[in-house]
A = this chain, B = another copy of it.
Amino acid sequence: MSLPHAILTALLEKPSSGLELTRRFDRSIGYFWSATHQQIYRELGRLERDGLIRALPSARTARGQKKEYEVLPAGRDELARWTAASQDPKPLRDTLLLRLRAAAVVGTDGIQDDLRRHLTLHKAQLAEYEEIERRDFPPGRDTMEDRLRHVVLRAGIDLETFWTQWLTRTLEELDGAG
């Protein structure tokens, strides 16, 4: 039950149409909560039906025509409630770790190339996050919003740092004589 709240957050930051939301989910928000346009349209329908958002009066209703949404007070309340509510951390689910565990049984043939590929991808993602940090969070600004958005970005940076370091060490472990 997180996608509706991701959409409410995005719409509070800026009222948008479904396609605009899709684009934002491909960038900033999607860095920690991805969604396809099909999911987004389905969820926008539900949120509107439930009275948490509404289409802007200017929005046309016909298929193929842009339709912008904004958050209603009930939607903001629901988002505040959800944000403050206690939630347990979800257990990790990672395919690469599972594949390494499988490789301990069926052999490592072919997996190392993919580890190297992942390392390249994570390095690229890390560079992208660091670029965003340089651009959007220069030292000095200090509103609470800035700080919150910055710690979220820091999580992304630290996670990508973890993956690059772990992949590097793991490749040494598999390649090297040990």
Contacts and interface: CB of A to CB of B under 8 A. Distances in A.
Contacts of A93: 2, 32-34
Interface string A158-178: 110010011001100110001
Contacts of A32: 92-94, 97-98, 101
Nearest to A93: B33
A140 to B, nearest CB: 11
A2 B87 CA distance: 25
A105 B12 contact: yes
Number of chain copies forming the complex = 2
A85 interface: yes
B121 A89 contact: yes
B144 A155 contact: no
B83 A106 contact: yes
Q: Main secondary structure on chain A at its contact with chain B?
A: helix
How many A residues touch the partner, as a band?
35 or more
A118 B169 CA distance: 28
Interface string A107-150: 11111011001100110000000000000000000101101111
Contact of A166 (B12, B90, B158): B158
Interface string A52-77: 00000000000000000000000010
